[in-house]
Structure 1
Amino acid sequence: MINKNSPLPIYYQIEEQIKQQIESGVLKPGDMLKSEREYAEYYDVSRMTVRQAINNLVNQGYIYKKKGSGTYVQEKKIEQALNGLTSFTEDMRKRGMEPSSRLLKFELIPATAKIAKELNLKENTPVTEIKRIRYGDGVPIAIERNLLPANLVKGLNEEIINQSLYQYIEEELNLRIADALQVIEASTASKTEADLLEIQKGSPILLIERKTFLADGTVLELVKSAYRADRYKFMITMQR
């Protein structure tokens, strides 16, 4: 129970008790929490106090709200180390998860001035555009848009795209992927992004832009992705 005479705010005490239940395994990923009313009655406090504790736990990534359903314990975040260049498929399989995709767009487009500059091409050069929702164990993790020079990556079809694009490029086209420049920034989900990722509008997301290069310095692709911040996190080892 909480101590109403403690200098610690009541909402913080409730927050810490629920957090301890999650970390100890009493509340497991996917479990539904009690309602605000039930917590308020249990602790003999106002619903506003409970709501503050719940909102803090949502912001910290311990729980999430499902509209019209309730509040649930969040699944453990997928970790990706930023010390190597891997594909989404490789990341998922490395963690024992089953990767899958839903193809939203696959077509040839003329390179705009901006795309041409990024891919080091002439304007209007054919570019293959691929847009997919990426899943891990059936859960939507990211929206991914790939732009690749069409004359560099030939023979693509939906079957290949739904497997591992990098594997096809390296094993079938014999192109050696060398390195990439990646930028990550925080944002919030638009209505479209929220619908595709099955989260609420305004939920935190990670926007990632990556430019990948072949061994000879040729730009292979430009990738723009929106990852669910409640399901994915990045780690980096740093040395002084």
Structure 2
Amino acid sequence: MIDKSSPMPIYYQIEEEIKLQITTGILKPGDILKSEREYAEYYQVSRMTIRQAINNLVSQGLIYKRKGSGTYVQEKKIEQGLNGLTSFTEDMKSRGLEPSNRLIHFKLIPATSAIASKLKIDVHTPVYEIKRIRLGDNTPIAIETNIIPANTVKGLTEDIIAKSLYDYIENTLHLKIGKAMQIIESSIATKAEAELLGIAKQSPILLIERETHLADGTPLEIVKSSYRADRYKFMISMNR
């Protein structure tokens, strides 16, 4: 309970109490919080005080507001380490989540000059363009577009990419994946991205672009992804 005689601001005490309920599991992911009016009556404070506590918890990513519905406890974010190169499928499985895909399109296209330059192939050389929604436990996590040279990764089909692309490359084609360069930046979701990811328009997202190479240096793929910032975070361990 809050202490109105304390020098600590009341909104902060309420914020910390709700935060404690979340971290201890009293309030679970997906639970709906009391309304501002209900909290104000419970704590005998103004709705403005409650609003400040709630807004602070929203900014910390612990809760989120759904227009016309209420305020909910945020799902726990999926952490991905940046110390190694893994596929989305491997990443989900390592966290005990069931990976799946929703295919938007899978087609063979001629390489543009920009694609050809990055993949070190001739312009108009055939490349696969694979656009998918990536899901963990049936929850949309990211929109991902892969550009892969068809002469390097042969025989791709929809059935293969529905499983694990990296598994096919390494265990069927026996190509050794070497390293990748990855760039991450923040953005806000477009209307199209928001609809595919099941989030509100202009919600924060993480834009990721990766260029992957085989162990012998041959360019393997260009990957562009839009990740839900409310469900995903990246972690790196650094030594001095």
Q: TM-score range, shorter-chain basis?
A: over 0.9
Q: 1:11 to 1:27 in 2, by over 3 A?
A: same
CA distance in 1 between counterparts of 2:189 and 2:28 reads 26
Q: 2:214 maps to which residue?
A: 214
Q: Residue type of the partner of 2:46?
A: S
1:158 aligns with 2:185: no
1:97 Cα deviation from its structure 2 partner: 0.9
Q: Residue type of the partner of 1:78?
A: I
Q: 2:44 maps to which residue?
A: 44
Q: 2:173 maps to which residue?
A: 173
1:89 aligns with 2:89: yes
Q: Residue type of the partner of 1:43?
A: Y
Deviations 1:18-74 (A, max 9, x none): 101101111111211111221122222332332222222122111122333221111
1:106 Cα deviation from its structure 2 partner: 0.8
SS for the counterpart of 2:238 is coil
| TM-score, scaled to structure 1 | 0.95
1:135 Cα deviation from its structure 2 partner: 0.6
SS for the counterpart of 1:175 is coil
Deviations 1:178-202 (A, max 9, x none): 1101111112212111111111122
CA distance in 1 between counterparts of 2:29 and 2:181 reads 34
Q: 2:59 maps to which residue?
A: 59
1:114 aligns with 2:126: no
| TM-score, scaled to structure 2 | 0.95
SS for the counterpart of 2:180 is strand
SS for the counterpart of 1:233 is strand
CA distance in 1 between counterparts of 2:196 and 2:49 reads 33
SS for the counterpart of 2:32 is coil
1:139 Cα deviation from its structure 2 partner: 0.8
1:226 aligns with 2:226: yes
User: Which has the larger displacement, 45-54 or 94-103?
Assistant: 45-54
Q: Residue type of the partner of 2:116?
A: A
1:142 Cα deviation from its structure 2 partner: 0.7
Q: 1:237 maps to which residue?
A: 237
Gapped regions of structure 2 (runs ≥ 5): none
SS for the counterpart of 2:159 is helix
Q: Within 5 Å, which residues of 2 pair with 1:124-203?
A: 124-203=124-203
Q: Within 5 Å, which residues of 2 pair with 1:93-108?
A: 93-108=93-108
Deviations 1:57-116 (A, max 9, x none): 122111122333221111211111111111000011111110001001111122222111
CA distance in 1 between counterparts of 2:34 and 2:158 reads 44
1:175 Cα deviation from its structure 2 partner: 0.9
> For this pair of structures, how many residues does the alignment match?
240
Q: Residue type of the partner of 2:190?
A: S
Q: 2:69 maps to which residue?
A: 69
SS for the counterpart of 2:129 is strand
User: Which has the larger displacement, 42-51 or 193-202?
Assistant: 42-51
CA distance in 2 between counterparts of 1:168 and 1:187 reads 32
SS for the counterpart of 2:20 is helix
CA distance in 2 between counterparts of 1:30 and 1:83 reads 31
